[in-house]
Structure 1
Amino acid sequence: MPYRPDPRFVDLYELYTGPRSIAAELSQRKMDATADTPLLISTGSDLVLFPGRGREPVSVSFRLSTRGFKELTAVSHLGTAAAWVVEMQEAGMDGWQLWARRFIAQCEEVRAASTVSYWASEVTVEAWKGWEPKIVDVVDYACRTAESYLQAGLQDPSVFTYEQLRQRFLEPPKPGILPVAFNDVMVATFALTFLDIAHRMLTWLKSLELDWQTVMVMICGSSGRPTAGLTWATNNMCHMVWRASQRALKPEHLLISPHAPGLNLEMIKSGSDLRDLEKSYRTLWCKTRVTAEIGGRMFEGFPVFAPDIGQAPIIADPSQALSEMPRLQHPNDRFTAISRLRLVMEDPRQLLSNSVAEFIIDELSDNGLDPASVTIPCFTNTVYPAAQRAEAVAPECPTVGGLV
């Protein structure tokens, strides 16, 4: 005979935690008490504010739909793209030659498209104003160095090993092999991309004039990899919102809920009725907070829970193993900047943007949200070879740095 609990036990269980339980009633009363409290939702690509009492939400997008994101991210990816080709060649897989040629051809196309007028007049990112000529230099240099390494590997497959990838392209051990190591290019392009994102998000959050002592914040759904961004330390939106609040947001008022209902900007643009979705978010937030608040009162006299938003570790030893993101001490701390690149790729918990996010957020917050006052790692103080400035397709130039 199959086991079934006695209904009287089930009734007692449901009395506490079921749909008509005391927990459900207390959560509903918490919702009623916070019905006017703004609820800020962060998705994988948008920020949405529900002002409360059924008022229409307001929103801003910070990722795939933003200007310049795909352009600079595409350049950032050239370092890992070269590694993917190396992986295929070392593993004896067919097709690596085709992929190398495809990347070479596309890099040539990008160099032709990347002009000062394109960045200044078509992309027109406010946070990059004045930097457009140097961005052209970085893009041109990144593409030429990637092309040069890939061409060398096509001529001599022994070039496509991880040791050769590092020594010829990513981090040459001797000065003069490359004007700028490609690791620096990846840091610079990631940092430029996040400078724009952080500048727009922090400016928008400031314009809301929220009472950060009471505002309710939830980070919903997936951000980046399915395993990433599940804690305060691994989700840079937590730090973004906290700094936007001038550190007034209570950490316990921010919840990360990867399994919450989905929300995207198209739902808002289409005029969809989002009242049920807002109710779901508020129910989830209030139910979670009620349990936490009761726990604190029940067990007073025992150690209190304190969310960890403390200082990240400082590193100096290349042999040191890392379990958490190290702190970038200043914009010229390239050892830590590149160590962060490695960590975000090796640690499945990390968002890739975490490699530069915290530093850029702090720099903007400490400089009155003025992007011109931010020193961008591996970019501001790094000299890149000048690209040809012609607005037409530029003729081929000699290989950069004698890489081949």
Structure 2
Amino acid sequence: MPYQPDPAFAALFRAFTSAPDSIGAHITRTMAALAADAPLLVSTGSDIVLFPGADRAPSIESFRKSTRGFIELTALSHLPLALAYLARMRELAPHDDAWRADAERLAGHARQTRAANSLALWREHVAVDSFGGHERKIANLVDYTCAVTLDRLARALHEPDLLSFERLNAEYFAAPSSDTLPVSMNEVMFATFGLAFLDIAYRIGNWLRAQRPDWQRLMVLVSGQSGRPTAGATWASNNMCYLVWRASERVLPAERILVAPHAPSFSVANLPDAAGLAELERRYRDLWLNTQASIDVARRLFPGQRPYRFDPQSADTMPPITSPDDRDAAAARLRRIMEDPAQLLSNCVADYVVDQLHEHGNRPQDVVIPGFTNVTYPDAVRA
């Protein structure tokens, strides 16, 4: 017969926090009643919602995949990286030509993307405020990246060593600026990441400030999976924490931003009805308040011990960018976010872009992005 705990001990275990009528559940309900009018902000991997409290209707904003320009710029970020994956395929199976089919398929997509790219696409279809005035340069960036990559793929099908990491690093990813390759692909990847996150930081920051929440009472929960399954599980590795904190002008106590990667998530594309959304709000409030209950008790239970204080400024940070031409820092950040499973891929640019926006008075056109601001892409796009 399998082991079962003694019923008396099991009942005592449940009486504390694990049963619906436990002490933990009761204290959460008490806190929920007292904070019923407090605002609650919940961010998932693609959407953010503000529950104002007191049964008022929520306000929702989207970012990432459902927003203008995100897929276009992220697809371009992935194009050079795809060559690195092809190179790794060749290393793993040097006598297998399976990489060729993937290379040809990738080239086909790159040709179609280059053909679809135009100034009108960025001005009239994507039409993102944060890109205003930069549309031609972005279109030129797209054309340049596709052209250089297509040339590399075409030649590599006849000379496979062009897809070795030694050749790719020297001639494609970290190549010095030349007439044939004025901008390296490391710079391209950083620039496209930067542009994509610039729009997210600008829109979400403006949306948050427009809500005018009570920052001192705001409860913030970063919920569910964000990016790859191993990433974004801490304050320092989930850039939404930093974005929200800076949007409050550092008024929001950083300790009120909790990351709950295993909490329920939601998406604008599959929102529940009003009753379902109200139930989701209740679950989020209970989760945040139940966690806060432990913190409140600890502060009263151990008054003689040193208190824990979270300082977002001392959290684990990315390599600093010292100038618009700091290629080494850009490459170091790219390596960090790919090599550290805890990091969201967008973390290679997130803190830098958020800080740049604040330093430039929330004017996205003035944000300096390495690989974009101080470089010139060949002017090849059609009007």
Partner of 2:44: 43
Q: Does 1:30 align with 2:41?
A: no
Q: Does 1:258 align with 2:251?
A: no
**157, 170, 174: which one pairs with 1:171?**
174
Contact 1:149 1:168 in 2 (8 A): no
Q: Does 1:350 align with 2:343?
A: yes
CA change 1:330–1:231 in 2 (3 A) is farther
Q: What's the TM-score once normalised by structure 2's chain length? A: 0.94
Q: State the alpha-carbon separation in 2 of the partners of residues 129 and 174 from structure 1.
A: 27
Within 5 Å, give how 1:281-300 maps onto structure 2.
281-300=284-303
Partner of 1:52: 53
Aligned residue identity for 2:107: I
Q: State the alpha-carbon separation in 2 of the partners of residues 147 and 333 from structure 1.
A: 27
Deviation at 1:358, TM superposition (A): 0.5
Q: State the alpha-carbon separation in 1 of the partners of residues 8 and 302 from structure 2.
A: 29
Contact 2:176 2:184 in 1 (8 A): no
**236, 247, 257: which one pairs with 1:244?**
247
CA change 1:69–1:284 in 2 (3 A) is same
Contact 2:237 2:342 in 1 (8 A): yes
Note the residue ranges of structure 2 that are not aligned, 5 or more in a row.
none
Q: State the alpha-carbon separation in 1 of the partners of residues 286 and 341 from structure 2.
A: 30
Partner of 1:119: 122
Note the residue ranges of structure 1 that are not aligned, 5 or more in a row.
314-323, 392-404
Q: Does 1:12 align with 2:4?
A: no
Contact 2:28 2:289 in 1 (8 A): yes
Deviation at 1:177, TM superposition (A): 5.9
Q: State the alpha-carbon separation in 2 of the partners of residues 168 and 312 from structure 1.
A: 36
Secondary structure of 1:52's partner? Answer: coil
Contact 2:177 2:184 in 1 (8 A): no
Q: State the alpha-carbon separation in 1 of the partners of residues 335 and 233 from structure 2.
A: 19
Contact 1:312 1:325 in 2 (8 A): no
Partner of 1:139: 142
CA change 1:3–1:100 in 2 (3 A) is closer
Within 5 Å, give how 1:191-340 maps onto structure 2.
191-268=194-271, 273-311=276-314, 325-340=318-333
Partner of 1:316: none
Q: State the alpha-carbon separation in 2 of the partners of residues 298 and 269 from structure 1.
A: 40
Secondary structure of 1:255's partner? Answer: strand
Q: What's the TM-score once normalised by structure 1's chain length? A: 0.89
Q: State the alpha-carbon separation in 1 of the partners of residues 6 and 364 from structure 2.
A: 65
Q: State the alpha-carbon separation in 1 of the partners of residues 103 and 2 from structure 2.
A: 62
CA offset digits 1:337-388 (Å, max 9, x no partner): 110001111110000000101111111122222112211221011122221x
Contact 2:42 2:223 in 1 (8 A): yes
Contact 2:48 2:61 in 1 (8 A): yes
Q: State the alpha-carbon separation in 1 of the partners of residues 273 and 31 from structure 2.
A: 31
Q: State the alpha-carbon separation in 2 of the partners of residues 368 and 205 from structure 1.
A: 16
Aligned residue identity for 2:192: T
CA change 1:330–1:269 in 2 (3 A) is farther
Q: State the alpha-carbon separation in 1 of the partners of residues 112 and 2 from structure 2.
A: 68
Contact 1:312 1:326 in 2 (8 A): no
Q: Does 1:363 align with 2:356?
A: yes
Secondary structure of 2:258's partner? Answer: strand
Contact 1:88 1:94 in 2 (8 A): no
CA change 1:4–1:135 in 2 (3 A) is closer
Q: Does 1:186 align with 2:189?
A: yes
Partner of 1:401: none
Partner of 2:369: 376
Q: Does 1:106 align with 2:109?
A: yes
Secondary structure of 2:308's partner? Answer: coil
Deviation at 1:270, TM superposition (A): 5.8
Deviation at 1:296, TM superposition (A): 1.6
Secondary structure of 2:48's partner? Answer: strand
Bigger shift: residues 270-279 or 293-302: 270-279
Contact 2:218 2:252 in 1 (8 A): yes
CA change 1:156–1:6 in 2 (3 A) is closer
Contact 1:67 1:124 in 2 (8 A): yes
Deviation at 1:283, TM superposition (A): 0.7
Contact 2:16 2:22 in 1 (8 A): yes
Contact 2:227 2:344 in 1 (8 A): yes
Q: How many residues align?
A: 380
Secondary structure of 1:55's partner? Answer: coil
Secondary structure of 1:310's partner? Answer: helix
Aligned residue identity for 1:24: A
Q: State the alpha-carbon separation in 2 of the partners of residues 145 and 189 from structure 1.
A: 16
Partner of 1:390: 382
Deviation at 1:227, TM superposition (A): 0.5
User: Identity, % of aligned pairs?
Assistant: 45
Q: State the alpha-carbon separation in 1 of the partners of residues 278 and 190 from structure 2.
A: 41
Deviation at 1:329, TM superposition (A): 3.4
Contact 1:48 1:58 in 2 (8 A): yes
Aligned residue identity for 2:10: V
Contact 1:90 1:160 in 2 (8 A): no
Select the structure that is richer in helix: 2
Deviation at 1:262, TM superposition (A): 2.2
Contact 1:213 1:249 in 2 (8 A): yes
Q: State the alpha-carbon separation in 2 of the partners of residues 289 and 329 from structure 1.
A: 39
Bigger shift: residues 283-292 or 295-304: 295-304
